[in-house]
Amino acid sequence: MNAKPETLAAPLDVERIRADFPLLSRTVHGKPLIYFDNANTGQKPMSVIEAVDRHYREHNANVSRAVHLLGEEATAAYEGARDALARFINAPSRDEVVLTSGTTQSINLVAYSYAMPRMKPGDAILTTVMEHHANIVPWQLVAERTGATVKAAPIDQNGELILEKYIEMLTPDVKLACVTHVSNALGTVNPIREIARECRKRGIPLLVDGSQAAPHRAIDVQALGCDFYAITGHKMLAPTGTGALWAKREHLMAMPPFFGGGEMIREVRFDGTVFADPPHRFEAGTPNIAGFAGMSAAIAYLEGIGFDRLKTYEQDLLAYATAAMDEVPGLRIFGRAKEKEPVISFLIEGAHANDMATLLDLQGVAVRSGHHCAHPLMQFYGVPATLRASLAFYNTKAEVDGFIEAIARVRKLLL
């Protein structure tokens, strides 16, 4: 039987937790799997897998379209995920939580439904050099269609946002500010409260990409003070194709629908359509109902562990891995922010990132190689790609040791 996370005593019993994650017991290429690609997607505990399976076995029906029992159960599961997410991020109201397929859809919803109708020539959208493409490209598309421009605030060599420059760039032409909470490539944690405070002083709405923050830290949108906050489910133990956009009620009420179809309307006539109130106004079509049943289970799992204990463990693991990697000859770490989550981007002098990743895979180690959907960041550091080891609370120091040993073996093959 799988351990119930709420019964785990502090400190974390990681081996007991690992038993909840079937995939972690896999072997690849005849080697025990060391999964260090958690910033790409997190692994799923049995409670999440069983929630999805149970939905299809016992409750499969569409939402809000039938009065029979299965339809009511499916709707309860879907709306239950909204309640769980509202609690998870401390939203003032469940009606401010729009269920989406993830951060990319959430940001595009803001881009097309909020920014597009408001932007005009001479306006600007402010973002940063460290952003994921999902927090760059939608704003470029808006700018192309409206005549607005996109500005990017700089970072320093440690991978930290130069806060005074960001604030300096909050000029009157900026009509929307955007920033990642945690960099997917560097692990840098940005000072969202300070940024939000400066934006409020200037009347500039702030959007925060929370994809990489939600798996590692408690989120409180009210305390952060932002206007929009986007979350991706699959990075925080939930199924793929799940996520949410939180937005202040006044913004949602003023935003027209992005997608049109079923479930987002009150009445349709050929002489005009009356749309539903938010959040359902933005949820056209049949959603990923089973996925959101899994999302509720993922949130329960994380809440059962507790972010205080989770964060303490992960920070210790990050420090251990960083120290070990600093001892590897020719290894360069990108991003030395004072506050960061357990993400380490690196290169080995003389070795190509993709070659390293391929050979590490043969040693059973899964890391990401490439530009990490962060081309401007790679350009800042003057490299085409890096390797990225991203850790989670179910990883161990023994795995870090195995990772370092695998790097040593691969170095001998390549150098």
Domains in the chain and their CATH numbers?
5-32+306-414 (3.90.1150.10), 50-303 (3.40.640.10)
Q: What is the pLDDT along the chain (415 residues), one digit of tens a residue?
A: 344 444 444 789 999 999 999 999 999 999 999 999 999 999 999 999 999 999 999 999 999 777 899 999 999 999 999 999 999 999 999 999 999 999 999 999 999 999 999 999 999 999 999 999 999 999 999 999 999 999 999 999 999 999 999 999 999 999 999 999 999 999 999 999 999 999 999 999 999 999 999 999 999 999 999 999 999 999 999 999 999 999 999 999 999 998 888 888 888 889 888 888 999 999 999 999 999 999 999 999 999 999 999 999 999 999 999 999 999 999 999 999 999 999 999 999 999 999 999 999 999 999 999 999 999 999 999 999 999 999 999 999 999 999 999 999 999 888 7
Both tokens of 257, joined, read 């629908």
Contacts of 320 (CB under 8 A, 6+ apart): 397, 400
**Which active-site residues does the annotation give?**
373
Helix (H) or strand (E) holding 272: strand 272-275
**DSSP count for the chain of H helices, then E strands:** 14, 17
Which residues does residue 232 pair with via DSSP β-bridges, in sequence order? 243
- CA–CA separation, 51 and 49 (whole Å): 5
Contact (Cβ atoms closer than 8 angstroms) between residue 71 and residue 79:
no
- CA–CA separation, 238 and 103 (whole Å): 13
Query: In this predicted structure, what is the pLDDT of residue 265?
Result: 83
- CA–CA separation, 305 and 7 (whole Å): 8
In what side-by-side order are the strands of the sheet with 368-370? Answer: 331-334, 343-348, 386-390, 368-370
- Tokens 């940001």 sit on residue: 107
- Tokens 């999805």 sit on residue: 52
Instruction: Tell me the torsion sign for CA atoms 366, 217, 298, 236.
Output: negative
Contact (Cβ atoms closer than 8 angstroms) between residue 317 and residue 400:
yes
- Tokens 């397929």 sit on residue: 101
Query: In this predicted structure, what is the pLDDT of residue 5?
Result: 45
Read off the DSSP letter of residue 68.
S
Instruction: Tell me the torsion sign for CA atoms 62, 65, 69, 74.
Output: positive
Mark 394-410 as b/e (b = at least 16 C-beta within 10 Å): bbbeebbebbbebbeeb
Mapped onto helix, strand or coil, the DSSP state of residue 331 is strand
Which residues does residue 243 pair with via DSSP β-bridges, in sequence order? 100, 232
User: In 97-169, where do the E strands start and end?
Assistant: 97-100, 124-128, 149-153
How far, in whole angstroms, is CA 38 from its chain's centroid? 11
Instruction: Tell me the torsion sign for CA atoms 398, 403, 406, 408.
Output: negative
Task: Return the biggest CA–CA distance within the chain.
Answer: 72
- CA–CA separation, 172 and 167 (whole Å): 12
- CA–CA separation, 229 and 202 (whole Å): 19
- Characterize the bridge pairing of strands 343-348 and 331-334: antiparallel
Query: In this predicted structure, what is the pLDDT of residue 6?
Result: 44
Which residues does residue 177 pair with via DSSP β-bridges, in sequence order? 126, 206
- CA–CA separation, 1 and 16 (whole Å): 11
**Amino acid, single-letter form, for residue 80:** G
- Tokens 């993709």 sit on residue: 354
Mapped onto helix, strand or coil, the DSSP state of residue 395 is coil
